[in-house]
Amino acid sequence: MRRAAAAVVVFLATFVALGFLAVPVLAIFTRVSPGRLVAQLGNPVVTDALAVSAKTTLAAQALVLAFGTPAAWMLASRRFRGRSLLVTLVELPLVLPPAVAGLGLLAAFGRTGLLHTSFPFTQTAVVLAVAFVASPLYVRAAIAAFEGVDENVVAASRTLGAGPVRTFFRVVLPLAAGGLGAGGALAFARGLGEFGATIMFAGSLRGVTQTLPLAVYAEFDVNFDVALAVSALLVLISAALLVTLKWLPSASTSRFRFATSS
Amino acid sequence: MIRIATINATLTIFAAASLTNVFPSIDPAQTYSFAGSNSLAAQIRQGAPADIFASANTSIPQQLYADGLVEKPVVFTRNALILIVPRSNPAHIHSVYDLRRSGIKLVVAAPGVPVGDYTRVVLHNLGLDDALQNVVSNESDVREVLAKVALGEADAGFVYTTDARTVKGRVATIGIRWSAQPIVQYAIAVVSASPNKAVARAWVKRLLRKPAQAKLLEAGFLRIK
């Protein structure tokens, strides 16, 4: 009797949790008919935002991979004083409110900031904001992936005469690829959705700094249908990224895992 | 027993961002939500629980009135636009006509935001439509424009004269001649779905009386014609 009651409670809690997460996402698609949704996707506001988002998110992703991979390798393979402090520092943007990130970027890169750059209101600012909030997701996953690589295999490669660079590219990287890919995909998805830091640091100008999430915000009170269409587009892209992640065959070879879909 | 808080209910007042400082000074006891009037109108359309809506123009509340979402709006104050530059004036802007120079970082409010629409009217009246090519960001309300200029990140921005007064010392102002000024009238209305309509109507009435009007004038708002 008690066990049955517990089962009912668990079932109900699960139902509420899943419903709570799924309903808002699905509701986006119920507010406007699919035909109108598709029609809105041809709206210049949407195509401009899509172009800005694609360009800035890809550029940010390139930066994240280029700088994040060596950093993660260093943090994973060396043990030194202050290492955990550095790891915490890397993870901090993950939990930081985006508005705080935006303010920090202004304080650092603003014209009146520490480094006196002229980045604000440019696409560079969008790229930096996206890289800032998205990189922790990649670096964290990459550290875990590198730590999961069997040290004996690395040692064997070195004993057999491969240099450290060759060993890194031919042994470590392929073994960590699943985790790196998963982290990269997550960082990309987070970057695509970046809003708060961008609007504070880069502003919002159609065709220049107005990314898809900024377009949702801008169109919310101008043309609700457009806001819905962009939102639907973002849901679909994000879902596609997550699905790809779970189907990625190599994702299961690393220690860094997500729940499998089957 | 649950008591329903209808007695002494504080009003939820949705008000244009430019009223951020003056409304709480007139009546600190109410709950305020300040944003671009168009955002607030969109929220009211989506069923946000506002009792009163104060807009920086007359057209948005008029539209809500036509759709039955608010009661008949009344004009309660006026304002004017001004050009602001950071105190350091990095782009050396000394007249509105300097806005035509290329490379200037001009920040304005987006079209649809009242101050964004007024800004475009001013530029048009001055024959400065091409200055819009220098816009580097369309902000969601006047206070965002103010912040970006006061911070020194933007070279110039259009705000209400009342906004410029709230950051004295951080921005320099450049006046706009009266003949180029748009008619900036603020309208207020009680929200039809409000459960506190009687209290809300009394509040609006009080806003039109002398003490409240004096506070508005003190903050730099203009007398209703």
Q: What is the per-residue pLDDT across A22-62, written as a single tens digit (0 to 9) for each?
A: 999 999 888 878 888 888 888 999 999 999 999 999 999 99
Q: Using CA atoms, how far apart are residues A245 and A134, in angstroms rounded to an integer?
A: 16
pLDDT tens for residues A194-214? 999 999 999 999 999 999 999
Q: What SS3 state is found at B118?
A: helix
CA distance B157 to chain A (A): 13
Q: Do A106 and B151 touch (CB under 8 A)?
A: yes
Of B137, B138, B151, the CB nearest to A110: B151
List Cβ neighbours of B119 (8 Å cut-off, separation of 6 or more): B81, B108, B109, B158
For residue B110, the chain A residues in CB contact (below 8 A) are 204, 218, 222
- Is A123's Cβ below 8 Å from some Cβ in B? no
Mean pLDDT of chain A: 89
| Residue A133 exposed, middle or buried by CB count within 10 Å (0-12, 13-18, 19+) | buried
pLDDT tens for residues B77-92? 999 999 999 999 999 9
Is B28 a residue whose pLDDT tops 80? yes
Q: How high is the pLDDT of residue B168?
A: 86
List Cβ neighbours of B63 (8 Å cut-off, separation of 6 or more): B41
- The residue assigned the tokens 């209400």 is B160
- Is A213's Cβ below 8 Å from some Cβ in B? no
For residue B42, the chain A residues in CB contact (below 8 A) are 220-221, 224
- Nearest CA to A239 out of A193, A181, A196, A176 is that of A193
Q: Do B154 and A121 touch (CB under 8 A)?
A: yes
Chain B, 97 to 116: residues with Cβ < 8 Å from chain A are: 105, 107, 110-112
Testing the interface with A: which of B37, B44, B133, B137 to mutate, by most A Cβ within 10 A?
B137
Q: How high is the pLDDT of residue A55?
A: 97
Is A221 a residue whose pLDDT tops 90? no
CB pairs under 8 A between A and B: 54
CA distance B136 to chain A (A): 6
Is A131 a residue whose pLDDT tops 50? yes
- Is B38's Cβ below 8 Å from some Cβ in A? yes
Is A125 a residue whose pLDDT tops 60? yes
Q: How high is the pLDDT of residue A261?
A: 45
Of A110, A111, A204, the CB nearest to B137: A204
Token pair recorded at residue B10: 């504080």
| Residue A210 exposed, middle or buried by CB count within 10 Å (0-12, 13-18, 19+) | buried
Contact of A256 with A145, CB cutoff 8 Å: yes
CA distance A110 to chain B (A): 6
DSSP string, chain A: -HHHHHHHHHHHHHHHHHHHHHHHHHHHHHSS-HHHHHHHTTSHHHHHHHHHHHHHHHHHHHHHHHHHHHHHHHHHH---TTHHHHHHHHHHHHHS-HHHHHHHHHHHHSTTSSS--S-TTSHHHHHHHHHHHHHHHHHHHHHHHHHTS-HHHHHHHHHTT--HHHHIIIIIHHHHHHHHHHHHHHHHHHHHT--HHHHHHT---TTTT--HHHHHHHHHTT-HHHHHHHHHHHHHHHHHHHHHHHH-GGGGTSS-------
Which residue in A has a C-alpha nearest to residue B139's C-alpha?
A: A204
CA distance B38 to chain A (A): 6
Q: Using CA atoms, how far apart are residues B22 and B188, in angstroms rounded to an integer?
A: 15
- The residue assigned the tokens 């790196």 is A180
Q: What ipTM, to 2 d.p.? A: 0.79
pLDDT, mean of residues B35-39: 95
Percent of chain B with pLDDT over 90: 94
CA distance A119 to chain B (A): 10
pLDDT, mean of residues A236-245: 88
CA distance A200 to chain B (A): 9
Q: How high is the pLDDT of residue A255?
A: 46
Which residue in B has a C-alpha nearest to residue A107's C-alpha?
A: B151
Contact of A134 with A60, CB cutoff 8 Å: yes
Q: Do B138 and A220 touch (CB under 8 A)?
A: no
Percent of chain A with pLDDT over 90: 66
Q: How high is the pLDDT of residue B55?
A: 98
| Alpha helices for B35-173 (secondary structure H) | 37-45, 59-66, 114-125, 142-150, 161-166
List Cβ neighbours of A6 (8 Å cut-off, separation of 6 or more): none
Is A18 a residue whose pLDDT tops 90? yes
| Residue B109 exposed, middle or buried by CB count within 10 Å (0-12, 13-18, 19+) | buried
- The residue assigned the tokens 């580097």 is B136
Token pair recorded at residue B22: 């003056």
- Is B134's Cβ below 8 Å from some Cβ in A? no
Q: Using CA atoms, how far apart are residues A166 and B18, in angstroms rounded to an integer?
A: 62
For residue A224, the chain B residues in CB contact (below 8 A) are 42
DSSP type of residue B140 = S
